[in-house]
Amino acid sequence: MHASKKIVVTGGAGYIGAHTVVELMNAGYEVVVIDNLVNSDMTLITGIEKITGKKINFHKGDCRDKTFLTNLFRTESIAGVMHFAALKAVGESVQKPLEYHENNISSLITVLQVMREQKVKDFIFSSSCTVYGQPDNIPVDEHAPFKKAESPYGLTKQICEQILEDVYKTGFRIISLRYFNPIGAHPSALIGEMPIGTPNNLVPYITQTAAGWRDKLIVFGNDYNTPDGSCVRDFIHVVDLAEAHVKALAWLQATKTTALYEVFNVGTGNGVSVLQLVNAFIRKTGAKLPFRIGPRRPGDVEKVYANPEKINRMMNWKPRYTPEDALVHAWAWQQKLSR
């Protein structure tokens, strides 16, 4: 057993990391947050403190900075690491491929080096369904092969997973969680998604448009081979995703194996179209959402949703929330931001 319940969360000031910090603390873990604030500020940390009533052990620093990490790991007794820190904007990664490769891959390598030196073995990695591209079979399971990456961002996730598959054999215990489309916010509306600039992702674009920050939502394409012609995704509530991390960590800590690498899809198993989500938002919130159909967005896959059987079975994880719940929570968060 691990004497310490202290978990390092890199990228913990960001969207998914912050929600996971809350669930870790609810489950009784002590959390050490590392973030360089390149895509965030202290807003979500303050929100976590309000939700949990506890001060966050936060360290501003970069995951590529080995001295910073080593000092931190020396002063705290760390049981494991959840590694969220990465750059994640697909379009930007096409403009800045070197920055994406350097940040996402160097961060991973540096964190693993420090873990090895400090004898910390348990590691959970933020991967993405983007590693599958457009899979041949849907729902997609973990055995589906990687397709050629659609973007430098997607390639960094594939490369990171391959690195993990190599290094675990030297004594790490590693889980990669392949997220489908995380949406929503904490039901308290104290933390949520805070995209910098114009959002790329669908739900923040929806809520910002309904709040009047944007003129109109463009639905990218209605001529796909799907029931209503718009793309189909597996939208998962961010709190359910956060809980999957806590289950994954508990599973890892309960297993005796000295070296392991496991990959899990984290999705609901239900495909929901973009138009279905847009209509659900209007129906559930009563908000006005001007939208029109526009051309397809280059690089979008037509439809993808998870076969989540492996994580259901091995970790007894199932989502508690529906996409409608997530939309209501995202809207409450947006209204708070708009005030």
If binding is defined by CB under 6 A, does position 303 make contact with ligand UD1? no
Nearer to ligand NAD by Cβ, of 86 and 167: the residue is 86
Contact, 313 vs 265, CB < 8 A? no
If binding is defined by CB under 6 A, does position 15 make contact with ligand NAD? yes
Counting runs of H as helices and runs of E as strands, what totals does the chain give? 11, 13
Angstrom distance (rounded) from CA 151 to CA 184 = 25
Binders of ligand NAD in range 97-116 (CB under 6 A): 103, 107
Q: Which of 27, 218, 289, 337 binds ligand UD1 (CB under 6 A)?
A: 218
Residue that has been written with the tokens 């659900």 in this structure: 280
Give the gyration radius of the chain's Cα atoms. 19
If binding is defined by CB under 6 A, does position 16 make contact with ligand NAD? yes
Angstrom distance (rounded) from CA 36 to CA 12 = 10
- Residue 200 interacts with which of ligand UD1, ligand NAD, none, CB < 5 to 8 Å by class: ligand UD1
153 is catalytic: yes
Contact, 287 vs 121, CB < 8 A? no
Binders of ligand UD1 in range 127-146 (CB under 6 A): 128, 130
Nearer to ligand UD1 by Cβ, of 122 and 234: the residue is 234
Residue that has been written with the tokens 């999705």 in this structure: 267
Binders of ligand NAD in range 154-193 (CB under 6 A): 179, 182
Contact, 178 vs 265, CB < 8 A? yes
Nearer to ligand NAD by Cβ, of 139 and 259: the residue is 139
Could you count the other beta carbons within 10 Å of the beta carbon of residue 76?
A: 16
- Among candidate residues 29, 100, 132, 153, the one labeled active-site is 153
If binding is defined by CB under 6 A, does position 233 make contact with ligand UD1? yes
Q: Nearest to residue 40, comparing CAs of 193, 240, 203?
A: 193
Strand order from edge to edge, sheet including 80-83: 57-60, 30-35, 6-10, 80-83, 122-128, 173-179, 260-266
The one segment of 22-30, 56-64, 134-142, 322-330 that binds ligand NAD by CB under 6 A: 56-64
Nearer to ligand UD1 by Cβ, of 85 and 219: the residue is 219
The footprint of ligand UD1 (CB under 6 A) covers 88, 90, 128, 130, 150, 154, 181, 200-202, 205, 217-220, 231, 233, 274, 297, 299-300
The footprint of ligand NAD (CB under 6 A) covers 10-11, 13-17, 34-40, 62-64, 84-88, 103, 107, 126, 128, 179, 182
| Residues forming the active site | 153
